[in-house]
Amino acid sequence: MILLLLGILTIWYLWNQLYWKRRGLPPGPTPFGPLGNMPEVIWKLPGYEAFRRWGKKYGPVHTFWLGPLPVIAITDYKTLKETIVLDGDKYVDRWFFNGIAEKIMGGNYGIIPANGDLWREQRSEFDTAVGSITNNLLLGYRFDEDRQDEFRLVKGCLRELSVASTNPMFILTALVAPLQNIQPFKGAFDNVLASRQTLFDFILKQIAAKREKVDYDSPSSSDFVEAYLKEWERKMGTDQEAYFFDLQFGSVVFDLWAAGLDTTTNTLNWAVCYVLNHPEVQDKLHEELDRVIGSDRKVTVADKNNLPYVNAVVNEVQRLANLLPQNIFRSTNAECVRSLARYCMMKRSSQNPTNSNPNAS
């Protein structure tokens, strides 16, 4: 009887793994139970070989499994344009690990995990504020010699958060929620929570100090936080007031910090490495900058159209630079959106539009 029961369970498990839970999805590698396809990713570090192999074997639209989550990878330009660009409104939502945002951030707030009307309303406030050095933009001051301790605090928290959030034990707690209460997984989860909370408390303190100094009658704003506070004041008593509250505000600033610092420094580091390894490119950059800009002024946005070679180098760096192992997942917000290579993506299915490799053939 026990053998019969084990046989039935084995057959059911294989049927579910090989067919039932994969029905209607683009082809892809078979998941390894609750771990999904992550063992294949870490089998040969740094990991992108698995994505390149899947793309060649299963095509430009395929499915891989992040634990129990099916992720539809889009790896060719044509499909990216047809979906994320031409049908972009239906792919605009973000997917975040279930329960993690609630426990670590108090909910799906800020920029990265926010969805729906909250995200759309907040996005409209960024267009005129984003465009300068991160902290000068956000809080109206730079980290001079007297504020180096603040910078070290922020940088240290972001570094600790980056390391802790990529710990395999933390990733497992995101996929299997009960592990968050079992050591050593609980320790990994608590490290992420502590690092995030330290930086979030710093941000809330800076916002509170800024709030006391804002001149709400002034038509201009010196930084993003001031502009946000004024917009919040203007929305008081309207339907949009519900989208403005401290947790969301702090989460927005946190996301701008977290998303802006490492990506910028990583891009600059890659640019320096590429230029050092290609002195002929460096010579051409110098020649164009000397000819167009000279030595008596700084480069401005207005010079962009007059610096074609500089633009080409910047674009090539951004094409090749390895900034993140995975992009933020998107999810569909319609019952059935435009098909991906004949597969109809149902509401809340998750897509990763950036599994591409510039050297893939």
Is the same domain home to 53 and 134? no
In a domain, 337, yes or no: no
Average per-residue pLDDT for the chain: 76
In a domain, 312, yes or no: yes
In a domain, 358, yes or no: no
Is the same domain home to 30 and 161? no
Check which CATH number belongs to the domain holding 155 and give it: 1.10.630.10
* Listed residues 232, 266, 300: the one ending a domain: 266
In a domain, 4, yes or no: yes
Is the same domain home to 122 and 262? yes
Q: In angstroms, what CA-CA distances link 267 with 86, 231, 317?
A: 28, 32, 7
Is the same domain home to 230 and 310? no
- Note the pLDDT of residue 135: 55
Long-range pairs for 73-80: beta carbons < 8 A, 24 or more residues apart:
73/28, 73/351, 73/352, 73/355, 74/340, 74/351, 74/352, 74/353, 74/355, 75/51, 75/355, 75/356, 75/360, 76/356, 79/340, 79/341, 80/353
Is the same domain home to 237 and 114? yes
Is the same domain home to 116 and 48? no
Sheet strands side by side (includes 350-352): 61-66, 69-74, 350-352, 330-331, 93-94
Is the same domain home to 161 and 291? no
- Note the pLDDT of residue 352: 53
> How many structural domains are present in the chain?
3
Is the same domain home to 189 and 229? yes
Residues of the chain with pLDDT under 70: 17-19, 45-46, 88-89, 91-146, 324-328, 333-361
Is the same domain home to 111 and 255? yes
In a domain, 341, yes or no: no
Is the same domain home to 233 and 116? yes
Taking only the tens place, the pLDDT of each residue in 313-358 is 999 998 888 776 666 677 776 555 455 544 444 444 455 554 444 4
- Note the pLDDT of residue 346: 44
In a domain, 49, yes or no: yes
- Note the pLDDT of residue 127: 39
Residue by residue, DSSP assigns 187-249 as HHHHHHHHHHHHHHHHHHHHHHHHHTT--TT-S--SSHHHHHHHHHHHHTTSGGGGG--HHHH
- Note the pLDDT of residue 290: 93
Percentage of the chain surpassing pLDDT 90?
8
- Note the pLDDT of residue 312: 94
Taking only the tens place, the pLDDT of each residue in 53-98 is 888 898 888 888 877 778 888 888 888 777 777 776 676 666 666 5
In a domain, 21, yes or no: yes
- What is the dihedral sign for C-alpha 143, 147, 150, 151? positive
Q: List the domain range (segments joined by +) for residue 319.
A: 278-328
Strand partners, 279: none
pTM listed for this prediction: 0.58
Is the same domain home to 108 and 238? yes
Is the same domain home to 121 and 245? yes
In a domain, 305, yes or no: yes
